Amino acid sequence: MVGIFSLVTGWPGQSGYGSASTAEQVTAGIDASNLTAVITGGASGIGAETARVFALRGAHVIIAARNMELANEAKKLILSSNQTARVDAMKLDLSSLKSVRSFADNFIATGLPLNILINNAGVMFCPYQLSADGVEMQFATNHLGHFYLTNLLLDKMKKTAKETGIEGRIVNLSSVAHLHTYDEGIQFDGISDQTRYNDKKAYGQSKLANILHANELSRRLQEEGANITVNSVHPGIIMTNLMRHSFLLMKVLKIFTYIFWKNVPQGAATTCYVALHPSLKGTMGKYYIDCNEMKPSIFARDEKLAKKLWDFSELLVKSAQ
């Protein structure tokens, strides 16, 4: 009930921020000029706002996006209000593991450090379709592409953290939708089975996978003693391009649930808070809503399920190569 009260009223939680806080507010006074960040899906919606605020705080931002026209427009928009901003746009299609590999190779070839990785991009409630690698599209884009990308960039992040002494941070964008998934949590035996496909549950499954991925990666990095944290966030309910497959449904829903909806600057706040705020130094494997730690579902806290998903994801990546 406290969560709903805070969401409706915008009342700040323990962190001092709440649902009404914006990305600019939660990063006020933070100097990110010594940081380089990759933001997937940084060309539109909350990804673009995250990129803008990161650049505003001085970070070197890499907008990783499928639509390069939109990515370059987002870059221009940032530069129009912030001429000293350091922003680059690079091609990344998360539904294609070949594209993910190409992006990682291209980024590493730049010789840039990497302090922050924001796994933000995603698709939502799309009709059944398979990715270029033959995997159900929501699972492929929202989880598998980010899983592979993170693994490919991890050595660069470890090297950066070691050389600079600055803690690296990875943020996975999940959703409260992770609560609405298939009965077994993750359909390992039918991940791409069309006969069992439900667009809402498939989305929830992919968002559950985002949290499980963050938790298992946290465990591995802690074991290794790497100076990198991994956490997951629910940005809030925001009308963005992500809703394009269910626009009418969401418009109707918004009429009855308008008090729960956020605008884009509010939607990017939790990501920016978890990625940049000094108070979260050393915080790992946590889930945040409205810039405050919350407890995710029982499935999301299942360590065995997280390990099983990791092994399953590795096999999927290998079989696609």
Catalytic residue numbers?
Answer: 197
CA 227 – CA 170 distance, rounded (Å): 11
Residue type, 3: G
What distance in Å separates the CA atoms of residue 309 and residue 288, rounded to the nearest whole number?
21
How far apart are alpha carbons 242 and 195 in whole angstroms?
24
> Residue 14 is which amino acid?
Q
H/E stretch holding 229 reads strand 228-234
Question: Facing residues of 233 across strands?
Answer: 173, 288
Query: Cβ distance 208 to 186 under 8 Å?
Result: yes
Q: Coil, strand or helix: which one is 311?
A: helix
Place of tokens 């070949």: 98
Residue 50 CA to residue 265 CA, distance in Å, equals: 8
| Residue 321: alpha-carbon gap to chain centroid | 24
| Residues 309 and 303: beta-carbon distance below 8 Å | no
Q: Which two tokens stand for residue 100?
A: 């993910």
- C-alpha span between 215 and 285 (Å, rounded): 5
Q: Which amino acid is at 8?
A: V
Q: Which tokens go with 289? A: 């809503």
288 with 231: CB under 8 angstroms? yes
Residue written as tokens 């591995």? 220
Contact 201, 180 (CB under 8 A): yes
